[in-house]
């Protein structure tokens, strides 16, 4: 144990849906939903992460659950600060920190590539208030590229499509910089909402966010024909008209239809990012293919659908949920080498 190391180094993927913290060896110390439960009177944090998620939609008047990030940016300052502070504490506990003294904290946080200066400032302030002494920022597509293992400094074009909870980030990377980028606010949360709306319209059933999320995980698909299809997922919930209990089996074909509109917007955003790409880099992208990362990359059939639509091969990154966090960890480990990537 580094007894005399007074600087603690952490990398954080601060996501709309999940936040992940890794240490400077690349080990995942924490992977929790980005949600906090607060006391309504004092605004003090009662629960964090998975515990708070279990309370979501089940609270009484003295407790409120808050997702501090919306569309990839901080929407609730106070809740975000408490969440970051709580997560750093939790990560230290998971690491087995003695808690005798608080070392000074160096932290690298990844942010959406479409963030404005004000939004970047908000993340920086929250991290500093939560105890960060040196706070660095790295854009999500760049972190994803590092996590996949792409040589970001090479004079070669690579395209990353990172479908997170709040935003879909599309970026072309070459020579250690982002050449073209497009950030759209259509992502995992919107797909969950589409499913909840569809269940209400089609089956007259009221479902909450958590149930819609489960449907997406179990039978989420963007194609109506899959080589090895998942079994129908049975949803339990109340009838919207009568409030009587219902059981409805949902098939992946239904989900593919109800996600069509949102996924088409992702198609269009990828095409418009390709339109802006210089021809030499475009040729590299056709040769290397396009990399899919983030939770949305786990949707069944997404790579095939995009290939059919755009004509460029798509590769789903290994462990797409953690790729951005891993890349942020690599940036932290090589902070001097990649200082030009940092904000």
pLDDT for position 3: 47
Residue 97 has pLDDT above 70, yes or no: no
Residue 102 has pLDDT above 90, yes or no: no
Percent of the chain, pLDDT > 90? 73
Residue 43 has pLDDT above 60, yes or no: yes
List where CATH 3.90.640.10 sits in the chain. Answer: 188-258
List where CATH 3.30.420.40 sits in the chain. Answer: 7-144+324-341, 153-186+263-318
Per the CB < 8 A criterion, the answer to whether 84 and 127 are in contact is yes
pLDDT for position 96: 64
Percent of the chain, pLDDT > 70? 96
**Strand ranges, E, within the chain:** 7-14, 18-23, 28-33, 36-39, 45-48, 63-66, 69-70, 73-74, 104-111, 132-139, 158-163, 168-174, 177-184, 233-238, 245-250, 290-293, 314-316
CATH fold of 188-258 reads: Actin; Chain A, domain 4 (3.90.640)
153-186+263-318 domain in CATH 3.40.50.11540?
no
pLDDT for position 49: 93
Q: Tokens 């996590």 belong to which residue?
A: 147
- Two tokens, residue 295: 């939770």
294-337 tens-digit pLDDT = 999 999 999 999 999 999 999 999 999 999 999 999 999 988 88
The whole-angstrom separation of Cα 314 and Cα 283 is 15
**CA distances, 164 to each of 16, 23, 99, 100 (Å):** 8, 22, 33, 37
Beta bridge partners of 233: 250
pLDDT for position 314: 96
**How many residues belong to the chain?**
343
pLDDT for position 4: 46
153-205 tens-digit pLDDT = 999 999 999 999 999 999 999 999 999 999 999 999 999 999 999 999 999 99
**Mean pLDDT computed over every residue of the chain:** 91
The whole-angstrom separation of Cα 263 and Cα 275 is 19
Out of 3.30.420.40, 3.40.50.2000, 3.90.79.10, 3.20.20.70, select the CATH number for domain 7-144+324-341. 3.30.420.40
């Amino acid at each position: 144990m580094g007894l005399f190391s007074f600087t603690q180094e952490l990398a954080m993927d601060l996501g709309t849906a999940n936040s992940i913290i890794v240490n400077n060896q690349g080990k995942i110390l924490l992977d929790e939903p980005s949600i906090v439960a607060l006391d309504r009177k004092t605004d003090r944090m009662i629960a964090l992460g998975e515990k708070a998620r279990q309370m979501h939609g089940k609270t009484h008047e003295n407790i409120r659950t808050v997702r501090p990030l919306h569309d990839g940016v901080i929407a609730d300052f106070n809740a975000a600060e408490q969440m970051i502070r709580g997560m750093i504490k939790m990560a230290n506990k998971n690491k087995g920190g003695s808690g005798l003294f608080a070392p000074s904290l160096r932290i690298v946080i990844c942010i959406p590539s479409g963030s404005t200066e004000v939004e970047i400032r908000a993340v920086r302030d929250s991290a500093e208030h939560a105890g960060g002494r040196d706070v660095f920022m790295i854009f999500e597509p760049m972190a994803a590229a590092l996590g996949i293992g792409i040589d970001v400094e090479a004079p070669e074009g690579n395209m990353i499509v990172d479908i997170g909870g709040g935003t879909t980030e599309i970026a072309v990377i070459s020579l250690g910089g982002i050449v073209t980028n497009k950030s759209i606010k259509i992502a995992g949360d919107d797909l969950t909402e589409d499913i909840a709306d569809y269940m209400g319209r089609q089956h007259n059933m009221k479902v909450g966010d958590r149930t819609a999320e489960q449907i997406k995980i179990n039978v989420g698909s963007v194609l109506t024909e899959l080589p090895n299809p998942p079994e129908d997922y049975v949803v339990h919930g109340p009838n919207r008209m009568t409030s009587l209990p219902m059981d409805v089996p949902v098939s992946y074909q239904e989900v593919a239809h109800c996600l069509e509109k949102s996924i088409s917007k992702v198609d269009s955003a990828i095409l418009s990012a390709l339109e802006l790409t210089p021809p030499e880099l475009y040729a590299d992208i056709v040769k290397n293919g396009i990399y899919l990362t983030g939770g949305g990359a786990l949707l069944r059939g997404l790579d095939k659908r995009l290939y059919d639509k755009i004509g460029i091969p798509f590769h789903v990154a290994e462990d797409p949920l953690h790729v951005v966090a891993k890349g942020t960890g690599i940036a932290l480990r090589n902070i001097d080498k990649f200082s030009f990537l940092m904000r």
